[in-house]
Chain A
């Protein structure tokens, strides 16, 4: 019984939250990696683009709520996502046309494009803050829990409860769907293949008649979808605050690089690597050992490898270690 309790404890505090957080990071990381692989620059505006998409979704959610439209147990924001995606794609294509395309045609070095993306970051951040303000916004509605701790305890008779929030399940489910469609698209369709060819070798792809404008446009569209969905899922699970989204850029970058930048599948797994290690290392295992070990050996301290304050530091350290020993990432991406 104690052993089961211990497992439920880990599930409740580590596995489920990490899986949800990892999914959110994974979507962002695929976004980063696609831009890096096809447009060839590190996009520092990632976090703010995600917050832009989320902001539009929130505005639509409010609009629907004022009209009285809702999805019942599901959050209204799901209904707003398609509309937000359209706006996001328009925004990204506009930015590309007025900002990025000039440097792409000029074949500027990637560093310059990264600098330009910092300009975009400033502008996007300003737009988001001017429109919706810098404050914390919660836009979740519908049924909050799929399983509450008490219900689980009654059901199984265990001491430890397992709480599953509906947003967590929703996040994981949506991520799986989106990522599966994306991989199917990249691997099976002609457009997807042309994108991969363009990413692998630009000149060769151009020679074989691939239209670069189309590839770039489709990349931005996919990026828009990923950014909006990733942002909305994060906002539903936690809350929406422009500054947090800006900061999320850092673990997302870490995930993309750890997974091997330029490699979407690597980025997907990288998200989970980062999320799990963050939570594994900063979790206090005292209760776990209390269940597992006999009473005489019970620990006095928290048995915490690092305090939770260092959550971000953990993922960055992993990134630094990966960069040092395997700069192409765990799952080979573009070689440096």
Chain B
């Protein structure tokens, strides 16, 4: 029990902080923070598998998150029949051609010896394939995007419940990771970081500008929810009764029936949004717990020990007959798939998909700060990092405002310097993240909850 003391106390502090936000700000804010903490925790678990278990650096987290989000759109939105009629056949044909190109290249790679001729052959296969693709897809894309562009203008999805997208998102992200892994995993660590960062930017560029796929920067809004809507809840009798029962003490103080009714309506409106958020929290918590159990089991399995061996000494592990390349690829795919789940969860929570909002600062570097601060190699640490950093990210502005007011209390309220500082409060979160990361890296390089390896 004693060895878990710091884990328990760290989590207790974290939960206490969120409860404090609930008491002092509002439960809505607190639950919103909690939900995003849980999503961040899933992301950090994915990154932690790659970095903590295997020592692979992956700066492409933004790309996998976006693919998870794309999966949410493609699974949940009902198909746009008209668009499929005008361009669906051509798009399927294009998919077939891409598969054909891949197989043709593989065939050439396998059956011809390495030579300049082979390179030229592969180049020309790809070039011819791309030209054919362009010729087939261009008219189709144009006609798809012309279908009711204000509302649809894309192929739509499958019309399934959005929960399925969490799994599909994992597969999308895993697929991308397979390609990236095949291409880039042989590179040295910092090159791998740059390569993955740039590839994730390419993924975002494609999602942003291929409007036929998911409307691009025009955004997809109003995705179906897995949980009830506030409006519906507010008219449900059982929910109103529940709220009345919960707040009986407050309502009893009000004497007139009319005022009571008005107060109750207000309470129901507030409670409905809290209730929806609690539903999300429950769903997310289930995912986090399942993933935590699986990753913990994996970490202490023979496979986990092998991964640590590969991380700490690649050559020795190789000499012991472990296939380093294969294991690296595997763990790259697994970690990315988990990030893909988080991406789909996030879009599910928001109910909208906005490709323009995917920026490396928020979706790649912030997640890395979480992993490093929390403790790489330790799943509890990674989750705690997700919680702590996201909490700080959101609460940085109020904290900064408080500090600014404290330190400039001697100045008049109209002082230009003070006003300037107060106006730039939102940017203090970057400062806090940066200083936090630097301090942790300097004085506690293994994170708040460092990795523990029990030698028996």
Show the binding face of A for B, using Cβ within 8 Å. 41-42, 44, 99, 102, 109-112, 114-116, 118-127, 129-130, 133-134, 246, 250, 253-254, 257, 301, 307, 309-310, 312-313, 316-317, 319-320, 323-324, 327, 336
**Chain B, interface residues (CB within 8 Å), range:** 35 or more
* A to B CB contacts below 8 Å, 9 in the list: A111-B189, A119-B441, A122-B365, A122-B434, A133-B424, A246-B361, A317-B202, A327-B191, A336-B188
Contact between A118 and B437, CB atoms less than 8 A apart: yes
State which of B145-153, B167-175, B193-201, B289-297 sits at the interface with chain A.
Answer: B193-201
Contact between B428 and A130, CB atoms less than 8 A apart: yes
Contact between A319 and B195, CB atoms less than 8 A apart: yes
Contact partners of B57 in chain A: CB under 8 A:
111
Which of A110, A125, A133, A254 is B190 in contact with, Cβ under 8 Å? A110
Contact partners of B205 in chain A: CB under 8 A:
309-310, 312-313
CB of B442 closer than 8 Å to a CB of A: yes
Contact between B201 and A123, CB atoms less than 8 A apart: no
Which of B197, B206, B372 is A313 in contact with, Cβ under 8 Å? B206
Contact between A123 and B434, CB atoms less than 8 A apart: yes
Task: Give the interface SS of chain A, mostly helix, strand, loop or mixed.
Answer: helix
Q: Which residue of A lies closest to B202 (CB)?
A: A313
Task: Give the interface SS of chain B, mostly helix, strand, loop or mixed.
Answer: helix
Query: Chain B 351-371 against A: per-residue CB contact (8 Å), 1 yes, 0 no?
Result: 000000000010001001100
Contact between B201 and A129, CB atoms less than 8 A apart: no
In the assembled complex, how far is the CB of residue B347 from the closest CB belonging to chain A, in whole angstroms? 22
Contact between B189 and A110, CB atoms less than 8 A apart: yes
Contact partners of A44 in chain B: CB under 8 A:
365
Contact between A126 and B191, CB atoms less than 8 A apart: no
Known contacts A257-B194, A316-B198, A122 near B437 by CB under 8 Å: yes
Contact partners of B188 in chain A: CB under 8 A:
336
Q: How far is the CA of A319 from the CA of B196 in the complex (A)?
A: 11
Known contacts A320-B184, A320-B198, A114 near B190 by CB under 8 Å: yes
Contact partners of B138 in chain A: CB under 8 A:
301
Contact partners of A116 in chain B: CB under 8 A:
438, 441
Q: Which residue of A lies closest to B208 (CB)?
A: A309
Contact between B191 and A121, CB atoms less than 8 A apart: no
CB of B433 closer than 8 Å to a CB of A: yes
Contact between A250 and B428, CB atoms less than 8 A apart: no
Q: How far is the CA of A278 from the CA of B438 in the complex (A)?
A: 36
Q: Which residue of A lies closest to B206 (CB)?
A: A313
Q: Which residue of B lies closest to A42 (CB)?
A: B190
Give the most central of B195, B198, B429, B435: most A CB within 10 Å. B198
Known contacts A133-B424, A250-B201, A310-B209, A122 near B194 by CB under 8 Å: no
